[in-house]
């Protein structure tokens, strides 16, 4: 069984009401705006921690083909931080995205009624089980 547990971290830019998080992690040399899932593996999003100075929606979307010139992103998970503070969501049943072709990917986005600083951490397992 192969299993890699990765913590990704991202923050809003503080000036845009919508956008995609640049995701960073201790194992990454440079940030990414999406994560491509190896063929035959699954991405399991086990946990989301959201904090912010303003109300913030955090959306996980996936695409079947990230290599397309304009990938089609479909919403898969939507969490709402209703007011300044933090929201911790530990998922006993994770959000699962299967890599069937090796071109699937997911991204994490934000949406805010008024722009402000907000932060997200997600725990993602890349596994073949």
Partner 1 sequence: MGRLLREGEYLVVYIPPTSKALVFRVRAVYNKYHDMPYGPLPLTSGTTLPTYDGGTTNVPADGVLPARSYTYSGITFPYSGAYDSNDMWYLPKDYRERVFHVIQHVVPEFVRIDVQVPNGIEQARFQRDKVMLGVPRDFGFTRGEIEMIHLPELRVGYRYGNDTNMDVKTFVKFTYAEYVIEVPEDPKEVMDVLLGKVERYWFTYPVSAYVTAIEEALKKTYGYDGFRVPTKYEPELIEEYSKLIREVREVFKG
By the criterion CB under 8 A, which residues form the site for partner 1?
A: 2-4, 6, 26-30, 32, 34-39, 41, 66, 102, 105, 126, 128
3-state secondary structure of 5: strand
3-state secondary structure of 38: coil
- Our CB check for partner 1 shows the closer of 27 and 82 to be 27
- Our CB check for partner 1 shows the closer of 14 and 38 to be 38
Order of strands across the sheet with 42-52? 3-11, 118-127, 42-52, 85-98
Report the nearest approach of partner 1 to the CB of residue 15 (Å): 26
- Our CB check for partner 1 shows the closer of 24 and 57 to be 24
d(CA 91, CA 95) in angstroms, rounded, equals: 8
């Amino acid at each position: 069984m192969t299993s890699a547990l990765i913590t990704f971290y991202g923050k809003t830019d503080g000036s845009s009401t919508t956008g995609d998080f640049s995701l960073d992690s201790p194992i990454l040399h440079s940030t990414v705006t999406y994560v491509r899932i190896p063929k035959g593996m699954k991405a399991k999003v086990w946990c989301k921690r959201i904090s912010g100075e303003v109300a913030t929606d955090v959306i996980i979307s996936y695409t079947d083909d990230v290599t397309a010139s304009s990938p089609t992103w479909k919403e898969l998970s939507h969490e709402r931080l209703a007011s300044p503070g933090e929201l911790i969501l530990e998922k006993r049943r994770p959000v699962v995205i299967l890599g069937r072709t090796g071109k699937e990917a997911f991204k994490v986005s934000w949406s805010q009624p008024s722009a402000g600083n907000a932060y997200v951490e997600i725990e993602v397992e890349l596994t073949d089980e």
